[in-house]
Amino acid sequence: MNPTRREVLKDMAVTVGAVALAASGVEASAPGKKRKWGMAIDLDRCTACQACVVACRVENNVPVAGPSEIPADRGIFWMDMLAIQEGEHPEVRTQYIPTPCNHCDNAPCVKVCPVGATFQNEEGIVAQIWGRCIGCRYCTTACPYSRRYFNWTTPTFAESMKAQLNPDVATRPRGVVEKCTLCHQRIRGVKDKARNEGREIEDADVVHLTACSQACPAEAITFGDMADNDSTVSELARSPRAFRLLEELGTHPKVVYLREAKWKE
């Protein structure tokens, strides 16, 4: 007997449903589930002391531009402090915002790189391989947050600073773009450490792992696994105070900001 039209449709619906269920099930319960590193920055705690800016510079061997380059807008800041004016005179208020790379899940910079130098790694970090970058600067243009910087000159370090260069981070040559990597060298270090002790990484290992987060005296910066619902950072991301920069662009940043007052851009 030929199946009726209704039966065929029912079968199709069941099949589609089963496939969809299987697909979602795989994602939710895959062994060794993928991490998604992210950050929460509490603007109500931040005092704009810029300890994060300095710590980031030291940790990641970011060259100091100096008085000749800064006026030409050629300074490099993996972590910067934005000052945004709110309100109208005389009721003006300045909101300071520490801005690392947002590590967008849907990153515009990754899409425009013609040589695959920038990419999103398997744990959600938007990274850059310096040796592969050809310096076309498409990514600096594509980034809506201007979180990418071009090395206009050969980075130089004062003789007194050379001994403090971090051996875990390569210095970049002239002509390549550089950016925040969420201190992936520290993530690698903590992974090795945990593995040596025969355990998995816990939230406590990473909550203040990045240099900016470690340096923050107000504990305003929290780092962690966004894919883990129980991590401190996901808990903060669910807070009613949470917002993301330029959310309407659909870039899905993994850096979440927290502020009691409503944020209008």
Positions touching other proteins (CB under 8 A) are 119, 121-123, 125, 127, 129-131, 168-171, 181, 184-185, 188, 192, 195-196
Please report how close the Cβ of residue 148 comes to other proteins at its closest, in angstroms. 17
| Tokens 């040589």 sit on residue | 115
Do 104 and 253 meet the contact criterion of CB atoms below 8 Å apart?
A: yes
Strand residue runs (E) in the chain: 37-42, 80-86, 93-99, 118-120, 126-128, 149-150, 177-178, 221-225, 242-243, 255-258
Residue with smaller CB distance to other proteins, 3 or 131: 131
Please report how close the Cβ of residue 35 comes to other proteins at its closest, in angstroms. 12
Please report how close the Cβ of residue 139 comes to other proteins at its closest, in angstroms. 15
| Residue 186 CB burial class (10 angstroms; 0-12, 13-18, ≥19) | buried
Please report how close the Cβ of residue 124 comes to other proteins at its closest, in angstroms. 11
Residue with smaller CB distance to other proteins, 37 or 263: 37
| Residue 11 CB burial class (10 angstroms; 0-12, 13-18, ≥19) | exposed
Nearest-angstrom CA–CA distance, 58 and 142: 27
Residue type for position 46: C
Residue with smaller CB distance to other proteins, 61 or 232: 61
Running DSSP on this structure, what letter comes out for residue 127? E
Residue with smaller CB distance to other proteins, 181 or 232: 181
Please report how close the Cβ of residue 195 comes to other proteins at its closest, in angstroms. 6
Residue with smaller CB distance to other proteins, 117 or 143: 117
Residue with smaller CB distance to other proteins, 176 or 237: 176
Do 230 and 206 meet the contact criterion of CB atoms below 8 Å apart?
A: no
Nearest-angstrom CA–CA distance, 92 and 235: 32
Please report how close the Cβ of residue 38 comes to other proteins at its closest, in angstroms. 16
Do 171 and 92 meet the contact criterion of CB atoms below 8 Å apart?
A: no
Do 183 and 137 meet the contact criterion of CB atoms below 8 Å apart?
A: no
Residue with smaller CB distance to other proteins, 119 or 157: 119
Residue with smaller CB distance to other proteins, 116 or 217: 116
Please report how close the Cβ of residue 116 comes to other proteins at its closest, in angstroms. 9
Please report how close the Cβ of residue 151 comes to other proteins at its closest, in angstroms. 14
Do 130 and 147 meet the contact criterion of CB atoms below 8 Å apart?
A: no
